[in-house]
Amino acid sequence: MKIIGTGRSHPSLVVTNDMLSQILDTSDEWITTRTGIKERRVISTENLEDLSIDAAKKALADANMDAKDLDYIICANVVNEYICPAMSCIIQGAIGATCPCFDLNGACVGFIYALEIAESFYRSGKYKNILVVCAEEPSRMVNWHDRTASVLFGDGAGAVVLTEGDNIKATKMSASCNWDRLYQKHELQYSPFNKKPNSNLPLVMHGQDVFKFATRAAIKDISHVMKETGYQPDEIKHYLIHQANLRIINNIKEYLNQPDEKFPLNIQKYGNTSSASLPILLDETNKEGRLQRGDLIVMSAFGSGFVSGACILEW
Ligand code: ACO
């Protein structure tokens, strides 16, 4: 497949580190030096579905495609206000599409999962035009009294339109179960039969373990797709890395021995927007005119599970 359109949408509320230091025992200095984040967008009055629909419409406009011509919609999402129906179905109705759709929960790796699935759908010969929307609202998951996790995340949505082509050169997905390092459980509704205690907890994160996993997994996945395609690090024009922590991105950059300008960043503005991180970064890089047709792009993401993935595509 190839990407022919990109779009993104952000909540209007900007929450700066200084605003957080008024409600938490933290500081702009701590958050900036440990993570690279200066501010993030957080849902206040909007709904995540509104951001998803907005991002989808922008990607379709960018691709110059009518929603009726879509053959499938995939939405990557960890949590939103609905447990059902799927977010993809809400998007389908709002944009006027008539195709089938489903949601996937690949944590922060949702975009790369969606690209790999779209590519195999296309190869099956059944579907040609696929809309991928990654929409995330981690502000719904974190405990805003917990300074260790709440400062890291932001909300947002990113979307791409895919059609027939030969631009996805390689994908590599990985999983290594360490679920208790980063997780959240659903609240149990009242049941007269279920005898287990309710486990309504906010997001639990062992940051240092996640940090080590993320760095190792990203390097391993990127090395895998490079080896599979035979491309050398110097031949890649852009490295789009999941915007979770600037120090993780710097470790990957050092390993690959590549210059700063190949690593677009927006973590300072948006924090970690989970699966939306990569399509938001891709759209920003695209709209800034930094992508030329033929450029080789590596994308890499990692998240709760642990799961990780990387891909190489030609723009
Ligand atoms: N402000 C001030 N101090 C803080 C804060 C905060 N927001 N959070 C923690 N601290 C304190 C800790 O309590 C600790 O204090 P102590 O030394 O008195 O015990 C000190 O800062 C150092 O804490 P560490 O956890 O050792 O700090 P570290 O350098 O590891 O940075 C961080 C923490 C930023 C969370 C880092 O581990 C990290 O980024 N990990 C990866 C997290 C991540 O990317 N998660 C999501 C990835 S997957 C996905 O996207 C869903």
Q: What is the tens place of the pLDDT at every residue in 218-262?
A: 999 999 999 999 999 999 999 999 999 999 999 999 999 999 999
Closest to 14 measured CA to CA, from 154, 137, 152, 157: 154
Cβ atoms of 37 and 67 within 8 Å: the answer is no
Q: 308: Cβ below 6 Å to ligand 1?
A: no
pLDDT digits (tens, 9 = 90+) for 182-199: 999 888 888 889 888 877
What gap in Å lies between CA 186 and CA 202, rounded to an integer? Answer: 9
pLDDT of the residue at 187: 82
The residue from 77, 129, 238, 242 that is catalytic is: 242
Closest to 241 measured CA to CA, from 301, 305, 170, 171: 301
What gap in Å lies between CA 271 and CA 7, rounded to an integer? Answer: 18
Letter for the amino acid at 237?
Answer: K
Residue nearest to atom 15 of ligand 1 (CA): 148
What gap in Å lies between CA 109 and CA 124, rounded to an integer? Answer: 23
84 included as an active-site residue: no
The stretches of 124-232 forming alpha helices (DSSP H) are 147-150, 207-229
pLDDT of the residue at 188: 81
Cβ atoms of 298 and 225 within 8 Å: the answer is yes
134 included as an active-site residue: no
In this structure, what token pair is assigned to residue 71?
Answer: 């053959």
pLDDT of the residue at 253: 98
Closest to 3 measured CA to CA, from 149, 158, 135: 158
Q: 147: Cβ below 6 Å to ligand 1?
A: yes
pTM of the full structure: 0.96
pLDDT of the residue at 189: 82
Q: What are phi and psi of 121, to 5 degrees?
A: -60, -45
pLDDT of the residue at 178: 94
pLDDT of the residue at 306: 96
Q: 108: Cβ below 6 Å to ligand 1?
A: yes
| Residue 138: HSE in the Cβ half-sphere, 13 Å Cα cutoff | 30
Count the Cβ atoms, other than its own, within 10 Å of residue 300: 26
242 included as an active-site residue: yes
Task: Tell me how far the alpha carbon of residue 227 lies from the centroid of ligand 1, in angstroms.
Answer: 33
| Residue 89: HSE in the Cβ half-sphere, 13 Å Cα cutoff | 6
- Could you say which residues of the chain have pLDDT below 50? none
pLDDT of the residue at 161: 98
DSSP label of 6:
E
Q: What percent of the chain has pLDDT over 90?
A: 94
Give the ligand 1 atom nearest the CA of 247: 39
Residue to mutate (ligand 1; options 25, 105, 245; most atoms within 8 A of CB):
245
The residue from 101, 108, 134, 311 that is catalytic is: 108
Give the ligand 1 atom nearest the CA of 147: 7
